[in-house]
Amino acid sequence: MIIVMERNALPEHLQVVKERLQDKGFKVHLSQGVERTIIGAIGDKTPALMELFETMPGVEKVVPIMQPFKMASREFQMEPSIIKVGNTEIGSGQVQIIAGPCAVESRENFLEIAKLVKEAGATMLRGGAFKPRTSPYSFQGLEKEGLEILAEARALTGLPVVTEIMDTRLIEMVAGFADILQVGARNMQNFFLLRELGKVNKPVLLKRGASATIEEWIMAAEYIISSGNNQVIMCERGIRTFENYTRNTLDLSAVPLIKQLTHLPVMVDPSHGTGKWKLVEPMAMAAVAAGCDAIMVEVHQNPSEALSDGPQSLTPERFEKMVSKIRTIASSRG
Amino acid sequence: MIIVMERNALPEHLQVVKERLQDKGFKVHLSQGVERTIIGAIGDKTPALMELFETMPGVEKVVPIMQPFKMASREFQMEPSIIKVGNTEIGSGQVQIIAGPCAVESRENFLEIAKLVKEAGATMLRGGAFKPRTSPYSFQGLEKEGLEILAEARALTGLPVVTEIMDTRLIEMVAGFADILQVGARNMQNFFLLRELGKVNKPVLLKRGASATIEEWIMAAEYIISSGNNQVIMCERGIRTFENYTRNTLDLSAVPLIKQLTHLPVMVDPSHGTGKWKLVEPMAMAAVAAGCDAIMVEVHQNPSEALSDGPQSLTPERFEKMVSKIRTIASSRG
Amino acid sequence: MIIVMERNALPEHLQVVKERLQDKGFKVHLSQGVERTIIGAIGDKTPALMELFETMPGVEKVVPIMQPFKMASREFQMEPSIIKVGNTEIGSGQVQIIAGPCAVESRENFLEIAKLVKEAGATMLRGGAFKPRTSPYSFQGLEKEGLEILAEARALTGLPVVTEIMDTRLIEMVAGFADILQVGARNMQNFFLLRELGKVNKPVLLKRGASATIEEWIMAAEYIISSGNNQVIMCERGIRTFENYTRNTLDLSAVPLIKQLTHLPVMVDPSHGTGKWKLVEPMAMAAVAAGCDAIMVEVHQNPSEALSDGPQSLTPERFEKMVSKIRTIASSRG
Amino acid sequence: MIIVMERNALPEHLQVVKERLQDKGFKVHLSQGVERTIIGAIGDKTPALMELFETMPGVEKVVPIMQPFKMASREFQMEPSIIKVGNTEIGSGQVQIIAGPCAVESRENFLEIAKLVKEAGATMLRGGAFKPRTSPYSFQGLEKEGLEILAEARALTGLPVVTEIMDTRLIEMVAGFADILQVGARNMQNFFLLRELGKVNKPVLLKRGASATIEEWIMAAEYIISSGNNQVIMCERGIRTFENYTRNTLDLSAVPLIKQLTHLPVMVDPSHGTGKWKLVEPMAMAAVAAGCDAIMVEVHQNPSEALSDGPQSLTPERFEKMVSKIRTIASSRG
């Protein structure tokens, strides 16, 4: 790290900071300018140490040099990670398409939509059994029954299923049914949940929090990986900004950034990322052009009857059209 | 709710929407304009229903009329709630001052700072035993040992203690030691945790999520209250914006807004809200002038040695000065 | 507009609001619910009127029905606008590529880069003669000399030139040299400038303000169009969010949104939109896949010597590679 | 500045960067770590230079050391600036109160409200003659007639007047009537306007742009000061965030920050900062407690008839109550 001393820092302040750095195992280099002294502190330390120095007398600011993530980084692992899910792979070049309704609403409906999206080109199924809802008065999911329906749909279609996990107490149950465990945006910094998922031998789909920086999102992945599970898939689903025509602002620059900074595969969810079905197809095409490994979209037989997220759900017909367009883009992105 | 039909909506679209509304138990009023038809749908329904209508053919948009929160609202309970904690009260006019280090670091240190802040005017103690940290490599708290130290400090000082709860599996343990259970900003929408806290007979301090709207924050309180626990204290701790001189942007307008919209008491945390100890005193004074019921600040004997949040921690001397200033403001805010 | 009365509004409040609406020429429809009265006010009025009603006693909120823009809207003009610039067209299906350095730095350099980008596939030239710089101590542009160099480059290459206009006093001068007048993000709501540009017979490239909503951006276009100039090209260049790996967050959902809401062509600037040259190519590809009509990028022979925006500038070689990739995407977007 | 080299930077890259720095007049200090080399470059250079180095091969990032502002900084001038306006002073301890309607609507109305606010305790008058409006169809101000009315109100009350200047061509005219020239939030980075205002011998009230960082806002002041006018008053008026209960999020931490970083006085505008009159009083009290030098609020005889900003305007009665409360807070803030 770099420590910038205040313009009027006393020599004894400088001395104390230097000694403290050496105590903590840093190699110290001084750059004495006309107006300020700058200290280069060389050593591989945790970010928490930086804060300490920031509070010492005479210190103006502390500037990090190292990225705070390690095991998720490209420097740690040069070749991109490929995550195996059933017979498919995420991160190996082909664009995977995960589709299904926001929530599993009934056995009959889910089995039907599962067949429809498979025929239209989906390579995995999605559906929530436990639903995070802003209001306690909204539909909260079918819970265990929903998981059983998901498993039945997998048996029927042969497609792997993705579903959300919201509480540490449910990991065992959900992992018993699902192929990929999804951490929702609201739980991206539920550190107990992340650590427990690090002990599971299943891929984890980690959604970006609505106000998480790229760095915080990668640090959340670092929690899972450093706890023992390196099968992490990053999913961009829109960040919260001042714009309100869209539900969120889909940050597609996250796609090339995650690929440059980490070795993890990246998925994009244009349904939550925009909140409007009319924007799903163009944004899915854009996401593929930007280089993503997978697209996750909400599809419902009858969006006007959906128990959640109807306005952002595609009909099966529109989904089929979208699949065809993104296949064309995928083959031309080089 | 109000349903605005598209300019070129067909009469049959209108008819279907009308029938659907009546099916769901709404009273329907049509306003036929030159360019558009607007439907007033009267009925006390959940927000989930709004989404359904948004997806119907011919519908341009749906506008909510009712606030989505009920039990937290001023309309539900006119008189402000007063939360009793030990011998003190939050919400009854006197400004409570909660102080202590970010994390409980050791028994000796915590007991010392507890005595110091009590002498300087604190009326409650704070200290984290479980710490949410962005990095898995940072200090995560003393856990159960930390809780025991908190309890000892309470016995020593007679002051109630506030500490954070991060996981449903720990509620029983934490509630056995603490007087107020704090839900951190990152867990504001951890709905399983909120629901479980609704079953506990202890006050809950609910921090605003860094990117939560006022409405979402109140809805999080609604989860707790509707699950059975109406002892909720709202705590503004800064929201995430583009500004980066400060760690967060402390949104003090939340103070009068929460008081106008709900019956719940409001606390302000200027330490996390700014991230810089030099801003803590002026922002604490501003928060009290804006009408808050309590202030929570981080105090550490030696901020340069703190295991977390040193840069935003006051020394005991600065804390004492701040207490005196906010007492003066409190007595003059009328 | 819709007026929602407060729960406890008095009948006389309702009466006054009703009469006021009728005075202003609205047709009034009442919807009397159990808890609240809602007034549908039908009439084609300016947004300023809405504010009036919001302040009347008994009124809880006022909800707009009509979009505030008219001449820019799809409802006003169904077919998309095509803007002619020299021999090229923006909005007619082919993706235009505008390239050049951030600022015109010298005659020699600019003429050279102009030839290079033309050979690499650019269809228009860009270069700033007047530069908006955050610091008064940064390079502010060559001013009139820069405009003359631009004109010479146009003569040399046959490509039209785009340059920024920052002050009403300079419109005549800049319009005498440039083919497209660019309004920068910082001037998007410089209403005097917009109105004066409405009187010029040249296309105007209107960049989105860094914190402008889609609606405000369209309203800025409405200023130009309603003053007499309907040759407006919208340019998305990133919005300001909390994310700081990128200079701005490029909001590509603006591309399909502008196409759905207005008849105007849409351009994307991935150079300013990301601030990092490594992200320019993937984001340009994404923008084209999302449906944009043109891409504007910064290219510099030697980015490390550029007087501004070096870090986001492509070299001519990288630019050529990007052109080839976006041509492929363009031909496969259908 | 600090230059961090990439992990795998070649020795020749390092050499080139070193030489380049020396060419530009920097003193160079190397810190060679196990993984990376860090270069401390000492010298007082413009921010534009930093960008150059960011693009050089082998460079990972460049970190600024010096604040980019000079003449506005506390380091440049230790004692706070006091701005004289007529017989009053901004910045000398007493809280000035600027009041009046958003826009000058008619001679009769303005003279009346001017007398009312003076009686209620205002020490300066505000009123817009030129109004920046999002819609071209909204009231744009009385223009020159409005300026004449302002001058008449000053003669009548003896209070100085503040009004907005929106275009370089109007500076002479507006400066002929007003005591303080206001730069609105939308023009905070209208650099031509700022430079011209640097040549005027009148105080300039510089509103913070809705998405301007504190640093950019100070840099805008630096434009005015470096052009020759050091009478700059900073005005916080709310920033744009995701929150939508309020029109903007009033960032009161800007008050102590501006005072710590610069020598300029700070004003707060809680009317625009919240957009709701019910929040104006508590936020004005908070602003004063935070240490501001002046408050600017909108007051209208009949907010429901105001041609702009009615919802955020106080009635004269509420204004009088607010004045009394902020006077009490001012006297107790110490």
Q: Best residue in B189, B199, B276 to probe A by mutation, most A CBs within 10 Å?
A: B189
Average pLDDT over residues B153-165: 98
D255 to chain B: which residues are within 8 Å by CB?
A: 282, 286
Q: State the pLDDT at residue B26.
A: 81
Residues B242, D213: C-beta atoms closer than 8 Å: yes
Q: Could you read off the pLDDT of D227-285 as tens digits, one per residue?
A: 999 999 999 999 999 999 999 999 999 999 999 999 999 999 999 999 999 999 999 99
Q: Best residue in C53, C76, C135 to probe D by mutation, most D CBs within 10 Å?
A: C135
Residue B94 touches chain D, beta carbons under 8 Å: no
**pLDDT range class, residue C15, cuts 50, 70, 90:** confident
Residue B290 touches chain D, beta carbons under 8 Å: yes
**H helical segments located in A167-315:** 171-175, 191-197, 214-226, 254-261, 270-274, 277-289
The reply to whether B188 falls in a domain is yes
Residues B240, C242: C-beta atoms closer than 8 Å: yes
Q: State the pLDDT at residue A46.
A: 60
Residue C36 touches chain B, beta carbons under 8 Å: yes
Residues B244, C240: C-beta atoms closer than 8 Å: no
CATH number for the domain harbouring residue D171:
3.20.20.70
C283 phi/psi in degrees, rounded to 5? -75, -30
The reply to whether A77 falls in a domain is no
Residues D178, D45 share a domain = no
End-to-end CA distance of chain B: 39
Q: Is the pLDDT of residue B149 over 70?
A: yes
C-beta atoms surrounding A131 within 10 Å: 22
Q: State the pLDDT at residue D306.
A: 77
Q: Is the pLDDT of residue B48 over 70?
A: no
Q: Is the pLDDT of residue B306 over 90?
A: no
Of C48, C168, C192, the CB nearest to D138: C48
Q: Could you read off the pLDDT of A45-100 as tens digits, one per residue?
A: 666 667 777 777 778 777 777 788 999 999 899 999 999 999 899 999 999 999 99
Higher pLDDT: D161 or C139? It is: D161
Q: Could you read off the pLDDT of D139-193 as tens digits, one per residue?
A: 889 999 999 999 999 999 999 999 999 999 999 999 999 999 999 999 999 999 9
Query: Which residue do the tokens 């550190």 mark?
Result: A191
CA distance D207 to D220: 10
D288 to chain B: which residues are within 8 Å by CB?
A: 289
Higher pLDDT: A166 or D47? It is: A166
Average pLDDT over residues B3-23: 83
Q: State the pLDDT at residue C42.
A: 72
Strand ranges inside D136-257, DSSP E: 161-164, 180-183, 204-207, 232-236
Q: State the pLDDT at residue B46.
A: 60
Q: State the pLDDT at residue C278.
A: 94
Q: State the pLDDT at residue B31.
A: 75
Residue D307 touches chain C, beta carbons under 8 Å: yes
> What residues pair up with A103 in beta bridges, in sequence order?
A128
The D residues from 244 to 283 touching A (CB cutoff 8 Å) are: 244
B135 phi/psi in degrees, rounded to 5? -105, 135
Of C54, C169, C219, the CB nearest to D134: C219
**pLDDT range class, residue B218, cuts 50, 70, 90:** very high
Of D226, D277, D311, the CB nearest to C136: D226
Q: State the pLDDT at residue B157.
A: 98
Q: Best residue in C13, C167, C172 to probe D by mutation, most D CBs within 10 Å?
A: C167
Q: State the pLDDT at residue B121.
A: 97
Residues C13, C92 share a domain = no
Highest mean pLDDT among C5-9, C72-76, C221-225: C221-225
Q: Is the pLDDT of residue C57 over 90?
A: no
User: What percentage of residues in chain B have a pLDDT greater than 70?
Assistant: 96
Residues D89, D56 share a domain = no
Q: State the pLDDT at residue A1.
A: 77
Residue B243 touches chain A, beta carbons under 8 Å: no
Q: Could you read off the pLDDT of D20-52 as tens digits, one per residue?
A: 888 888 878 777 766 678 787 776 666 666 777
Q: State the pLDDT at residue C94.
A: 95
CA distance A179 to A161: 5
Residue A25 touches chain D, beta carbons under 8 Å: no
C238 to chain D: which residues are within 8 Å by CB?
A: none
Residues D110, D245 share a domain = yes
Q: Is the pLDDT of residue A22 over 90?
A: no
* B-chain residue closest to C43, CA distance: B33
**pLDDT range class, residue C241, cuts 50, 70, 90:** very high
**pLDDT range class, residue C227, cuts 50, 70, 90:** very high
Q: State the pLDDT at residue C214.
A: 97
Residues D15, D162 share a domain = no
Residues C101, C54 share a domain = no
Residues A52, A112 share a domain = no
Residue A217 touches chain B, beta carbons under 8 Å: no
The reply to whether A153 falls in a domain is yes
**pLDDT range class, residue C68, cuts 50, 70, 90:** confident
The reply to whether A158 falls in a domain is yes
Q: Looking at this predicted complex, what is its ipTM? A: 0.91
Q: Best residue in C60, C71, C73, C134 to probe D by mutation, most D CBs within 10 Å?
A: C134
Residues C149, C17 share a domain = no
Q: State the pLDDT at residue B139.
A: 84
D240 phi/psi in degrees, rounded to 5? -90, 125
Helices B144-157 and B107-120: angle between axes, nearest 10 degrees:
40
Q: Could you read off the pLDDT of A27-44 as tens digits, one per residue?
A: 787 777 666 787 877 776
Q: Could you read off the pLDDT of D104-117 as tens digits, one per residue?
A: 999 999 999 999 99
The set of chains that have 3 or more CB pairs under 8 A with C is A, B, D
Distance (Å) from the alpha carbon of B166 to chain A's nearest alpha carbon: 7
The set of chains that have 3 or more CB pairs under 8 A with D is A, B, C
Q: State the pLDDT at residue D125.
A: 98
Residues C44, B36: C-beta atoms closer than 8 Å: no
Domain, as residue range, for D132: 83-332
Residues D102, D59 share a domain = no
Average pLDDT over residues B94-101: 97
Q: State the pLDDT at residue C18.
A: 86
The reply to whether A116 falls in a domain is yes
D267 phi/psi in degrees, rounded to 5? -115, 155
Q: Is the pLDDT of residue C322 over 80?
A: yes
Q: Under the phi-then-psi rule, with left for phi > 0, alpha for psi from -120 to 50, and beta for the rest, what region is C223? A: alpha
The reply to whether B75 falls in a domain is no
Residues B115, B57 share a domain = no
CA distance C255 to C45: 28
Residue B52 touches chain C, beta carbons under 8 Å: no
CA angle, residues A179, A181, A187, in degrees to nearest 5: 170
The reply to whether B70 falls in a domain is no
Please spell the DSSP secondary structure of B219-265, one letter per residue.
HHHHHHHHTT---EEEEE--B--S--SSSSB--TTHHHHHHHHBSS-
The set of chains that have 3 or more CB pairs under 8 A with A is B, C, D
CA distance C239 to A256: 18
Number of A:D CB contacts under 8 A?
A: 63
Q: Could you read off the pLDDT of B277-301 as tens digits, one per residue?
A: 999 999 999 999 999 999 999 999 9
Integer angstrom CA distances of residue C201 from B292, C84, C232? 57, 12, 11
The number of C-alpha atoms within 13 Å of A171 and in the hemisphere containing its C-beta is: 18
Residue B8 touches chain C, beta carbons under 8 Å: no
Please spell the DSSP secondary structure of D216-231, one letter per residue.
HHHHHHHHHHHTT---
Q: What is the mean pLDDT of chain B?
A: 92
**pLDDT range class, residue C44, cuts 50, 70, 90:** low
B334 to chain D: which residues are within 8 Å by CB?
A: 325, 328
Residue D327 touches chain C, beta carbons under 8 Å: no
User: What percentage of residues in chain C have a pLDDT greater than 90?
Assistant: 72
Residue C140: which residues within 8 A CB-CB, separation 6 or more?
A: C130, C131, C133, D191
Residues C138, D303: C-beta atoms closer than 8 Å: no
Residues C172, C144 share a domain = yes
Rg of chain C over Cα atoms, rounded to whole angstroms, equals: 23
Count of domains for chain B: 2
Residues B333, D331: C-beta atoms closer than 8 Å: no
Q: State the pLDDT at residue C302.
A: 87
Q: Best residue in C52, C55, C73, C183 to probe D by mutation, most D CBs within 10 Å?
A: C55
Of D53, D136, D313, the CB nearest to C226: D136
Integer angstrom CA distances of residue B299 from A53, B270, B303, C192, D253? 17, 12, 8, 52, 20
Q: Best residue in A4, A38, A66, A241 to probe D by mutation, most D CBs within 10 Å?
A: A38
CA distance A319 to A271: 12
CATH number for the domain harbouring residue C24:
3.30.70.1140
Distance (Å) from the alpha carbon of B283 to chain A's nearest alpha carbon: 19
Choose the weakest-confidence range: A15-19, A21-25, B35-39, C224-228.
B35-39
* C-chain residue closest to A247, CA distance: C253
Residues B139, B47 share a domain = no
The reply to whether D68 falls in a domain is no
**pLDDT range class, residue C99, cuts 50, 70, 90:** very high
